[in-house]
Every structure is written in structure tokens, then in C-alpha cells.
Amino acid sequence: MPAISRFIPVCLFCFAVPGSSAIAQDDFVPLIQNDSLDGWRGDLDSWTVENGVLIGKADGTLKANRFIVADIPPVANFELQVDVRVTEGGNSGLQYRSQDRPDLGPFVVTGYQCDVVSNRDVYNGMLYEERGRRILAHAGQQVVIDPAGQPWITGTFEVKHFAPGEWHHFRVLVEGNHHRHWIDGVQTVDVIDLDEQNRSLSGVLGVQVHVGPPMEICYRNMKLKRLSDDLPIIKSQDAKIPDGAEKVEPQGGWKMAGVRDQNSPLEDVSIGDIPNLHQCGDVLLSGQPSAEDLRLLAQKGIRTVITLRPDSELDWNEREVVEAAGMEFISIPVAGPDSLTDEVFEKIRDTLRKTGPQNKTLLHCKSANRVGAVWAIHRIYNGRMAPDYAVREAKEVGLRSPPLEEKLVDYLVRHRKLWAFPIQAAVRCTPDSALLELIPPCPRSWLLISLRPGPQRLRDGVVWILMTVSMLATDMDGTLIPLPEAKSENTEDLQLLKDLIQCREIRLAYVTGRHRKSVEQAIREFNLPVPEFLVCDVGTTILQYRKSRGGFEDWPHYACHLHSIVADQTVETVRELCFDIRGLQPQEPEKQGPFKVSFYCERKQLTPIVDVIVHRLTRADSKWSVISSVDPFNGQGLIDVLPLGVSKAFALDYLARKNELPSSSIIFCGDSGNDMAALTAGFRSVVVGNAPEELKSAVRSLHQKKGWNNRLFIAQRYATSGVIEGVRHFLGES
């Protein structure tokens, strides 16, 4: 059928905000400082600011796209205007409504992008989805993306040429699920995204340096206007795809039709009684489902079931049940490690590549142990996930068997995705080592890294290892702050800890139930080092120390994130639910917050009062939850009601993701019940010696249950001395 060369009228135009309408300049916020990268984070080494121009450079050796993002709250509906200049052959992009994804590599961002391409007119100003659905609309196209994620051309624009090496004015206007781009006032795309599963309605805003030849990308006069959050979402009935519409040609040509990067985040889900169930985009991963569970999956839209179990492991006919329910059944038997051949890895990899909205798939074995081993291959090859993250995720999925893990490692090493070396007895630590990660348990310990080691890392046949620590995050009271009964020893060790983190250039964060003023008072009173970050109020506030401004500043985007959790259920709602509970006493006003309601009670009443609060919150379908602990100094019960799921661990994970720090590079130290979530969240964890024995036992049990054999240290020494004991342990100095 001939290409459509005219506009086909669809109902989307009733939602359009006129592109020519005047917008007050005061509504826009500038994003580039005159001579500083303040306000940006990510791959800052590739960027500079000179006279108000943000300049990105690449020397032609870059192996993966790199990003910096504006350090502002998530952006939903907006207008962005910026002047752009790119050299001949250069390639960049304006990233928006995107997500930080350190699991895919350093400084990787996924999501929508307005392309900036100097040497291909149909790419310049197009709508692309980085590490996702890829090309959504070429320049010159009006497109509707259907609910299954297929983009259809519903009209065309004239494609213009914009000369490289010159300044051009880019404009991006995004309202609900309606995206429009312009260059020098010429519209390049008009897209409506009906794909609810894969579209994004909010996220980070950034810019890209792309792989390719040496290039320079310049941005100036970048300004952002936020629009109302309640703009309408265009529905399918208002954006009809007319008969005769053609599909958007995919990246790489028609042979790549349907191919997308399969890198959705892994989530715990529950369906029926299926054990160890996780979901990643259009794929479910699990242990063995029952016949009833399989029929339920068919009702929920699963189209294919892949089993790794040989027929001999089951006493019933799974194929018969699956096919009777109208699903396709695929058997790829893996009886044990010896069955996990290259052919099996590649067959599963090819099979999972075909999953999508029209082919939702379940992959299972008995317990998800074998599933975890093969899942890592899919994530690396089909999702472009960093290999070390993929191996860790395999364990989260269910990989427990050392022989299966060794098969996985062997495949990745032989296919040059990982470099591995048996670790010899003579292992040293040296500051000039690269980031290396131990991944036990294996019959032989393996050292795994994602890049070929340089000569400085292998000497005389001995692997020199630095167990890299990027950040020390510690509780304060009972943990970092010296105890009265051990003041002399603790104070001496506090100075040693200061010297150690300064020498090793370890970033410092305090993660505490205290409020900001109380933290600042403690820093002065106990002569504590000033941290880079404060996570206050039991995880409901994040602040960053700005040396140039001489104090701590809020992270407003974190507050926006918490607001999105509770919506209209404010702290007043919580107080009304709890005001008449006997024995419950509100804490002082300075200990309350916009996302924290705090109470005292007698220790003996702590458990029954918490039960009453939980019951009332549940009955009210509340978006709040409860954390409780006992004051280590006076034995008083402490109760905090926080947004659902929020804790010290939640805030520290948010902080880590925003700073692109892997959890394995963070040490968290704690001593009490409100540290429990952070001590069992996947960070390297230190429980100081003065912590209750029941806390030590509970943390140890959860680490064992999750298969973490190298992430926990139970210190013998108390408070400050226990912190430095734990840090030295993870640095290999103990």
C-alpha cells in the first residue's frame, strides 16, 4: 500500500494545546547554571558548562550511551525549550519521563527521548524510547501507538534538514500521553501513546552522549515549564487508527519488527498458590504451578508455558492441562547442571526473545532454581543488563545451586560477558584495584568482573582485590554516637573512622529517626563528621549537604515521591485514626513531619498498641504503615506511622539509585528494630555489638534465607567501635 502523504483526521486534535500560544517567560525555570554542573548528576565526566553552555564530548571510544539528568523532582506534563548544536556525525537526545537504571550499566537511563541527530533527517527530532520500544515515530510522522505497543502512522509532516554545527531551537511538549516535538518551529512528531503497560507518565529529564565518532554536543538556554498534573489521558476511542494506516518502520529495518529491549524491572507478584513468583514485563518466573494455577494463568492472559522440568519429575501431565487451557506448551528439560548446555541457554534465550504483549509467558521449574540460572542469560542478551547485576538478579529469582551458578558463570566467561579467575589463597587489597565483586557460593570461589582486567590487577598470578565501598550509611543513636559507658573507646574510634572514610574517599550518610535540627545538634555535640546526606525522620526526609551554601538542603523530588504514595491521605488522616488509643502519647511537634506521625508508649504496651494501629489503618484502606522500636536509653516504646512501604531502607535505596551506587558498595550500620529493614535490604550490613540479641538473630536468619553469605557482619564491639570494626571487615582490613 502506498505511504500516507496526508493527515488523516483523528480525535486527538481536540486535546491539543495550541502550539502557537504565548507562554509567559516567568513560567519557565532555567536548568543550566552559568558556569557549573550544579543541579545535574550522572556521567559528569563527559560534560562541562562554559558561559551557560552545557557541553558534552566523546572521543569515539565510548562503548555505551551515557547520560546526565537534572537533579529535580520527577517531571510529568511539561514544556521544554532549548537551543542545541551538534557537530557533523554527532548524536544526542533530550531524555524525558525516564528512569535511572544502574542495573543496565553505569549512568544508564531508559525512556522517552527527543533525538538530536546531525546526519539523518528522519531521526532528528524523532520520538525514541531508549532501552525499550525503540523507534516510536520518525521525524515527519503523526503516530498512534496501540495498546499492544505497535506504532501506526496516521499522518505525515514535511521532513526538513537542519544543518549540523549550527544552533537550532528544540521544543518538546508532553501532555498526558500526547507527545510533540519541534525544531526551529517546525513540528517533527505528534504521538499518542495508548500502551499503558510500557508508557511512562513521569520521570527524570536528561541529556545523552551517544556512542559513535568523536563529537561535541552543546545545549544552552534550557528551560522547563511544568504543566498541570491532571491533564487528560487520551483514550483509544478518541485516537482511532484508520484503515490503511502503516506501521512505523522499526530500528534496523523490518527484520527487527517486534524486537524491543526486554529490561522491565523484576517484581514480586502473587497469583493463586504459585511458589516463588516474579514478574518482569510480559514474563512470569516461578516454581511449579498446580493444574488449577495453570488454568488461572490462562484466564489472566498467559499464552505460553515453558517448563524446565523433565517429564519424569511430575506424576501428572502438565502439557495436557496447559494445552486444554488454550496455551502453548514448551518443554526444555534441564535435569541438572550437566543438562545446562550452551544449546539450552541459547534456546531459552531465543524463546524468551519472542515474548511480548501478545505472547505473555510463564517460565518455571520446581523451585525457580533452574529458572534463575537461565534467566540471567536472557537479561544480559535480550535486556542488555549489566552481567554482574544479572547474576545477582538470578539469585533473587531463585538460583540457589552452586553447580548451576558455576554453569552460568562458565557460559558468560566463554562468551566474553564476564572475566573470571579462581581466587588464590594469597589475596591482597590495594587502592588502585578496579571494582571487583565476589559472587558466592560456588564450589570454587570466583572473582567476576564485567571488563577485561588491566595489568595492575593481576600480578604474579595473584588476584589483587579491593572490596569496593562507596558509601557508609549509619544510624546515629546507639550506633555511631559514642555510648556513655564506652565513651573513651568510642571517641577514639570515632576519630579513626573519620580518618578511614577520608583516606578511602567513602561517602557518608546518616540514616536516623532524628529530625534535622536534632541531627545538627548531635553533630556539634559529639564532634561527628558532617555527612554528605541525611536520611531523617525514619526515612521520610532526605537532605544533602551543600558546602557552597554551608548547610543541608532538602531533596524536593523525594517529598514529591512520598506524596505520590499517600495522595490525599495526609498526616491528619492518621492522627484522626489514632487519637483515642489509650496509652498512646504524641511525640513533640518538632519530631512530627508531613510524612511522619510519631508517638510514645510504655514498652509493655508497644505490641498491643501497634496491633490496634495496624488494624485501624487496614480497615481504613490506608496508604500508611507502622514501624516500632524501643528507645535504647530509656526503654520507652517508639511508634512511627509512615507512608506505606517507607522506611530507612526505602529512603536509602532511593538515595543509592539516584547516586547510581550498587547496593553491594554501601555499608549500613544499625542497632535497633527500626534498622531491621535496611539491615536486610541487600546492603552490606553491620549490626553493632550492643544491639539486642533478638535483632542479631533475626537479621542473620533473613540473610541466610536470602542466600547472602557475604553481606552481614555482627560486630563484637559496641556503637562507634562496632561501626569501624564492621567497615574494616568489609574493606578486608580486619
pLDDT higher than 50, residue 424: no
Q: Are 442 and 409 in contact (CB under 8 A)?
A: yes
Q: Are 490 and 718 in contact (CB under 8 A)?
A: yes
CB under 8 Å to 338, separation ≥6 — which residues?
Answer: none
* Amino acid identity for residue 453 in this structure: P
pLDDT at 231: 95
Cα–Cα distance for residue pair 335/674, rounded to 1 Å: 43
Cα–Cα distance list, 193 to 133, 237, 241, 248 (Å): 12, 13, 12, 13
* Greatest C-alpha distance within the chain: 85
pLDDT higher than 80, residue 256: no
Of the listed ranges 75-84, 160-169, 280-289, 423-432, the one predicted with least confidence? 423-432
b/e burial code for range 95-113 (CB count within 10 A of at least 16 → b) = bbbbbbbbbbbebbbbbbb
Of the listed ranges 61-65, 234-238, 665-669, the one predicted with least confidence? 61-65
CB under 8 Å to 59, separation ≥6 — which residues?
Answer: 214
Please give the residue that has the higher pLDDT: either 84 or 734: 84
Summary mean pLDDT of the chain:
85
CA 288, 294, 298, 300 torsion-angle sign: negative
Model confidence pLDDT, tens digit, residues 454-497: 333 333 333 333 346 789 999 999 999 999 888 889 999 999 99
Model confidence pLDDT, tens digit, residues 646-667: 989 999 999 988 887 878 789 9
Q: What is the DSSP string of 526-573?
A: TTPPPPSEEEEGGGTEEEEEEGGGTEEEE-HHHHHHHHHHHTT--HHH
Which residue from 480, 466, 508, 475 is spatially nearest to 730, judged by alpha carbons? 466
pTM as predicted:
0.55
pLDDT at 6: 31
Phi, psi of 217 (to 5 degrees): -120, 130
Q: What angle do CA 270, 275, 279 make, to 5 degrees?
A: 50
635: its cell numbers: 526503654
Instruction: Give the confidence band of 5 by pLDDT, cuts at 50, 70, 90.
Output: very low
pLDDT at 465: 38
CA dihedral 366, 372, 375, 380 (to 10 degrees): -170
pLDDT at 446: 42
Cα–Cα distance for residue pair 516/551, rounded to 1 Å: 11
Instruction: Give the confidence band of 4 by pLDDT, cuts at 50, 70, 90.
Output: very low
Cis, peptide link before residue 403, omega less than 30° from 0: no
Instruction: Give the confidence band of 58 by pLDDT, cuts at 50, 70, 90.
Output: confident
pLDDT at 304: 97
pLDDT higher than 90, residue 609: yes
Cα–Cα distance for residue pair 193/146, rounded to 1 Å: 7
Q: Are 555 and 657 in contact (CB under 8 A)?
A: no
Cα–Cα distance for residue pair 348/383, rounded to 1 Å: 14
503: its cell numbers: 583516606
Model confidence pLDDT, tens digit, residues 577-586: 999 999 999 9
Cα–Cα distance for residue pair 117/718, rounded to 1 Å: 58
Cα–Cα distance for residue pair 31/226, rounded to 1 Å: 13
Beta strands 419-422; 446-449: pairing state: antiparallel
Cα–Cα distance for residue pair 65/110, rounded to 1 Å: 11
